[in-house]
Amino acid sequence: MIDKIAKYFLILLGTIVWSLTMVKSGLVYDYGMGFWGANGHDAIWHISLAESIAKGSKEMPIYSGEEIKNYHLGFSFLVATIHNLTKIPIINIYFHILPPVLAFFIGFLAYKFVFEWKKSHGSAMWAVFFVYFGGSWGWLVGFFRTGNFGGESMFWSQQGISTLINPPFALSLILMLLALIFANYGIARNNKLSLFLASIIFGFLVQIKAYSGLLVVFGFVVSSLYMAFFSRKYFLLPFSFFSLAILFIFLIPFLGKESTFIWQPFWFLESMVALSDRLGWDKYYSAMTNYRLSGDYLKVALAYGIAFIIFFVGNSGTRILGVWEIMKSFRNLTNIDWISVFVFSILIVGTVIPTFFVQIGTPWNSIQFFYYSIFFLGILSGIAFSNFLENVRVLLIKVILSIVLIFLTLPTTIFALNQYLPDRPPAKLSIYELEALSFLALQEDGVVLTYPFDRQKAYDAMSNPPRPLYLYESTAYVSAFSKKPTFLEDEVNLDITNFNWRQRRKMVEDFLLEDEADKAQKFLKDNNIKYIYWIKGQRARLGESQLGIYRIFENQEVDIYKVSE
């Protein structure tokens, strides 16, 4: 009974803490709708996708006339489906309903998975602790360097506290844990139905989070091959290859012709030590690059090897304890259970890929492979620490060691919350823009032209938060809140999905500077543009009548025009 109370208390605490990163965003305050942390960009993109899918559209909502490609749609489809069934606004589903649900089930399933695997309440509890509260050593470096306890992503990877900021990642963890539980049950009881369900979930994960799908199917195939080779047990092979087939079925139709990843070894290591918003160790970066340029390969290997250790240990924080569990398991290669092989495969490959490859358009996006390595390292750390405590016979020492571990682990979570709890967020959607976008959402469907994002003006406005979204980052907010496709928005995600948006931006800039009415009107007609959404002060060189547009909405901040038919 006490164990059950402790389990649910820890899961409830983790759920509340994680949900704090989300629940304040998407609400309307006196300055408008607020967005804390990364929600000012990432959340808007997911909402835009969900709004588009809810209408049954396959069109890229931020790049009209083109279908969505190079992106996983599972989470957005889930949000859209819930919206269509319940009529609850998508923004409330995204920020206020799904976050605590996702957080709870991640903790609950992590406990169940570890308990079924290790048959230990202590291992399961400590694993859940690391899943919810695991963090990097960034706070320690920040403290000794400046007296500031920040630095969640100092070594590049996000930590446990930011899981819900990336809801497809959170959903992928739930399905991955569920599939592992099914698979473990199926193997233990020779239940083919459970293995079949696990295979389907593993393969389908690529549409929830592409990184997870690639990793878990690889881990499933490797673990089945391991069992066949070392244990002469072949029954898992057909299920793992079935998962591989499902992965390709879901993956291929959504891939473009271009490669998504490119070979660029040690980009994260170099940028980690070079960038001031990361570790920012200029002298070390200079030494690394000079050794490489001089061809001193021994020093290159040493310098980059140390940088890799800093990257891995720095991101791991107290979860570095999980390495001990790995080392212990590898003492006898022929006697490792299939789950350990699965976990080790993901941990290794999830670390190796971002070490050598970056993603086209947005190089740092490939760090998301490493998120799964850190997740499983946290689970292994919980198991390792629990096993260690079992060998400590003095209760007082157990308590002291536990307190020390908790003390060293929690700072990342505590100080990362500082960016989600202040009264004033970094980004907002003003009352007037909300009014304008609500009006536009009620109009008949059509493509919306917006003004190109001005990065210099956004930089100049940094000192005066909350900044309006059009001065925060290139986001999908007009598409998200008007529920209509835009001609060009969110250049960040267009980079990630590998669209040639720069050519289209040049077209918009030329249209704004055009002084021949016929050419300007031809641009609007050729690109099926029906509406123009401009903030006050944004305009083209030609007037309304010359452009063939007329105003259908105006307030203190926004003008909305409709293109004459």
The CB-side HSE value for 175 (13 A sphere, CA atoms) comes to 25
Q: Which residues contact 362 (CB under 8 A, 6 or more apart)?
A: 492, 495, 496
Give the pairing type, strands 558-563 and 529-535: antiparallel
Query: Which pLDDT belongs to residue 553?
Result: 95
Q: Is the pLDDT of residue 253 over 70?
A: no
In this predicted model, what pLDDT tens digit does every residue of 485-521 receive, in sequence order?
999 999 999 988 888 899 999 999 999 999 999 999 9
Contact between residue 129 and residue 6 where contact means Cβ atoms under 8 Å apart: no
DSSP secondary structure letter of residue 59 = B
Residue 418: name the closest of 149, 93, 174 by CA.
149
Query: What is the mean predicted confidence (pLDDT) over 139-145?
Result: 85
300 has pLDDT over 60:
yes
Q: What pLDDT, on the 0 to 100 scale, is given for residue 4?
A: 82
pLDDT band, residue 137 (cuts 50/70/90): very high
Mean predicted confidence (pLDDT) in 236-244:
91
Name which residue leads in pLDDT, 251 or 19.
19
pLDDT-derived band at 251, boundaries 50, 70, 90: confident
- Contact of 476 with 486, CB cutoff 8 Å: yes
Summary count for the chain: helices (H), strands (E): 26, 10
CB 374 within 8 A of CB 158: no
pLDDT over 70 for what percent of the chain? 98
**Residue of 263, 281, 259, 261 whose CA lies nearest to 271:** 281
What pLDDT is stored for residue 255 in this prediction? 55
Quick one: pLDDT at residue 511? 94
Q: pLDDT per residue over 198-226, tens digit each?
A: 999 999 998 899 899 999 999 999 999 99
Model confidence at 20: pLDDT above 90: yes
pLDDT at 258 over 70: no
Quick: pLDDT tens for 82-100: 999 999 999 999 999 999 9
Give me the residues paired with residue 559 across strands. Answer: 534, 554
pLDDT (mean) for 358-377? 89
pLDDT 10s digits, 436-491: 999 999 999 999 999 999 999 999 888 888 999 999 999 999 999 999 999 999 99
Amino acid occupying residue 472: Y
* Cα(259)–Cα(294) distance, integer angstroms: 32
Residue 254 pLDDT > 60: no
Chain segment 381-401, per-residue pLDDT in tens: 999 999 999 988 889 999 999
The residue that leads in pLDDT, 452 or 146, is 452
pLDDT at position 296: 82
Closest CA to 150 of 158, 140, 159, 160: 140
Confidence label for 193 from pLDDT (cuts 50, 70 and 90): very high
Confidence band for 269, pLDDT divided at 50, 70 and 90 = very high
Which residue in this structure is represented by tokens 């169940």? 112
* Residue-averaged pLDDT of the chain: 91
Structure tokens of 448?
Answer: 């919306």
Q: Assign 3-state DSSP to the chain and report helix, strand, coil percentages, each to 5.
A: 65, 10, 25
Q: Which residues, in sequence order, are CB contacts of 257 under 8 Å at separation 6+? A: none
pLDDT of 23 higher than 90: yes
Note the pLDDT of residue 3. Answer: 78
Contact 481, 438 (CB under 8 A): yes
Q: Is the pLDDT score of 294 beyond 90?
A: no
**Three-class secondary structure of residue 447 per DSSP:** strand
What residue spans of 191-233 are helical by DSSP H? 192-204, 210-231
Percent of the chain with pLDDT over 90: 70
Q: Is the pLDDT of residue 104 over 70?
A: yes
Kindly report the number of other CB atoms within 10 A of residue 24's CB atom: 21
Label residue 262 by pLDDT band (50, 70, 90). confident
